[in-house]
Amino acid sequence: MLCEQIMNRNVKSLKEQDTALTAAKVMRDANVGFLPVIGGTGKVVGAVTDRDLVVRLAADSGAMTTPVTNLMSRDLVTCNPRDDLHRAEQLMQDHKKSRIVCVDDQGRAMGVISLSDIAQHEDGSQLGKLVRSITSREFHKA
C-alpha cells in the first residue's frame, strides 16, 4: 500500500509569520493537533502541535502573539506520497513520531499520515508493534 492511499489530503497548515493564537484557532476549528508550517517558498519548514502550544508557550508564559516559528519543531519527518506505507511506518518508528508529512519532490505538503490513519489500514498486531515502538521511552539509570 502506498502512502498516498491513506494520507489525509485535507491538510491545514500555517505560515511562518502566523501566531500561536492563529495556530490554536486553526487546531480548534479543524479538530487537529498538528499543523505543518509552510515557508515563503511553499516548502514545509516545520510543524506545530497542540503540545508545542502548551509546553513551549503556556508553560513559559508566552504571548499568544508569538510567531509559530518560535514554537515549531524543525526536525520534521517526511516521506513521499509514492512511498510504500511500510517506509512511513519505519520513519515514524525510528524518529518516535506519531505523524508524518507527505511532501512532493519540491518539499510541498501533500498530506499527513497519523497513527490513527494507519490504524484503519493495518492489522492489530502490526499496529501494536508500531505504537509500542513510537511511544517507548529510553530510561537511563542515574
- What structural domains and CATH numbers belong to the chain? 3-135 (3.10.580.10)
Tens digits of residue pLDDT in 52-65? 998 888 777 778 89
Tens digits of residue pLDDT in 94-142? 998 989 999 999 999 999 999 888 888 765 556 556 666 666 654 444 4
pLDDT for position 116: 83
The model's pTM is 0.82
**Alpha-carbon gap, residue 19 to 82, rounded angstroms:** 33
129: which 3 cell numbers? 508493534
Q: Are 61 and 15 in contact (CB under 8 A)?
A: no
